[in-house]
């Protein structure tokens, strides 16, 4: 399985809280697609401090198409990221990581 998101080596955000458990707790929602063709998105925020991620919160919403959105307000990065259940929990993690890299 090829992951769509390619990453380049740049400074890595350092996670103080393990993101995988949080993403996996949403897994039921991500893979349970209510309507054909709609795409699951992770929506939430991440608090960063000198490249390390302290607090974060996320949830799942569905949208008719893929939509990327992220902006930064002080130390807080807000994001909407499409996720693909085929990429697994790791794929979702990489997509959040990609947003963080762009915003940091």
Partner 1 sequence: MKRKATSVEILAGKDEVIRILEDSPQFITNWPYVVKVSTRDGLVAEILLPRFLFKFGDTYRFSVMKDDTSYIYDGTGKRSHLIVTVTLKEWQTHTMADIELSYKGRGEFLLGKPLEVLLKGIGNGLKSLSEAPKQAPVPAISSHVADEVDFADPMSVANFLVKSRMVHSGLHVVQKGGLLNLVLELRENLKDDVLYVSGITQDGSKSFKLLLRKSQILALEYRSDNEIKVVKVEDDASARQALEFVSRIEGAYMVNAWVPVGGV
Stretch that binds partner 1, among 43-51, 53-61, 63-71, 93-101 (CB under 8 A): 93-101
Q: From 27, 37, 34, select the one nearest 87 (Cα to Cα).
A: 27
Closer to partner 1 by Cβ: residue 15 or 45: 15
49 makes contact with partner 1 (CB under 8 A): no
User: CA 79, CA 40: separation in Å to the nearest integer?
Assistant: 13
Phi-psi region of 54 (alpha: psi -120 to 50; beta: other; left: phi over 0): alpha
Considering the rule CB under 8 A, would residue 104 count as an interface residue with partner 1?
Answer: no
To which H or E segment does residue 67 belong? Answer: none
Helix (H, G, I), strand (E, B) or coil at 43: strand
By CB under 8 A, is residue 97 in contact with partner 1? Answer: yes
Provide the mask over 3-22, with x wherever binding to partner 1 is found by CB under 8 A and - wherever it is not.
x-x-x-x--x-----x-xx-
Q: Give residues in contact with partner 1 (CB under 8 A).
A: 1-3, 5, 7, 9, 12, 18, 20-21, 24, 27-28, 31-32, 85-90, 93-94, 97
């Amino acid at each position: 399985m090829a992951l769509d998101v390619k990453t380049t080596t740049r400074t890595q955000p350092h996670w103080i809280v393990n993101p995988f458990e949080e993403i996996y707790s949403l897994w039921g929602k991500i893979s349970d697609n209510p309507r054909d063709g709609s795409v699951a998105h992770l929506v939430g925020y991440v608090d960063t401090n000198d490249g390390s991620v302290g607090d974060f919160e996320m949830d799942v919403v569905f949208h008719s198409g893929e939509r990327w959105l992220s902006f930064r307000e002080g130390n807080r990065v807000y994001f909407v990221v499409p996720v693909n259940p085929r990429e697994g929990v790791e794929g979702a993690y990489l997509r959040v990581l990609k947003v963080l890299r762009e915003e940091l």
